[in-house]
Amino acid sequence: MSEVFVNGLVCKNPKDIKPEDFFFPGLDKAGDTSKNPGSNVTLVNVEKIAGLNTLRISLARIDFAPNGGLNPPHTHPRATEILTVMEGTLYVGFVTSAPDFKLFSKVLNKGDVFVFPKGLIHFQFNIGAVPAVAFAGLSSQNPGLVTVAKAVFGSNPPISDDVLAKAFQLDKKTVDWLQAQFSN
């Protein structure tokens, strides 16, 4: 018999399903935060746990380097995020949509919880001198990640620098320099 797909993912024969299809190990391991901008996201989504298919949730661990480890401004096109700090001190925030573009920000310590609504630009920044760790639930089996600086200045192929110069009110030389920074 040919394979059955749901949501474009292989759907196992119920007789062959095992506890392992609902399991993923290793979220106690810190991600590598040595590379710029100093954060690392370990996302447990439907690619990691096949049994999450159709169940609208995933889980993430986020590690931050001390003194400025940054999860840079980004959106999740398909998920709200609810995050709690395990270790360290994070300055976090999100920006509302037009016309207000209000920043809702907060310094979070261990045990604090914060919500980043679906589709809005948000960030987390380690303002402490020690590594920080956060865990987050996300309201999709496949939240998606749009890192703003990379999507805008590092897409493949690049967006025309005419567009970016005008959008960011930068001269083309600066845009080209930014594009060189964010390419691959």
Q: Residue positions in the annotated binding site for oxalate? A: 71, 76, 81
**8 versus 34: smaller Cβ distance to a second copy:** 8
List the binding residues: 71, 74, 76, 81, 122
What is the C-alpha separation between 39 and 134, in angstroms, rounded? Answer: 11
**125 versus 128: smaller Cβ distance to a second copy:** 125
List the binding residues for Mn(2+): 74, 76, 81, 122
Q: What is the CA radius of gyration of the chain?
A: 19
What is the C-alpha separation between 60 and 57, in angstroms, rounded? Answer: 10
Tokens standing for residue 57: 């949730």
* Inter-helix orientation angle 172-182/161-168, to 10°: 110
CB of 145 to a second copy, least distance (A): 4
What is the C-alpha separation between 160 and 163, in angstroms, rounded? Answer: 5
What is the C-alpha separation between 103 and 182, in angstroms, rounded? Answer: 25
What is the C-alpha separation between 113 and 84, in angstroms, rounded? Answer: 4
**18 versus 34: smaller Cβ distance to a second copy:** 18
CB of 113 to a second copy, least distance (A): 4
**38 versus 128: smaller Cβ distance to a second copy:** 38
CB of 160 to a second copy, least distance (A): 7
CB of 17 to a second copy, least distance (A): 8
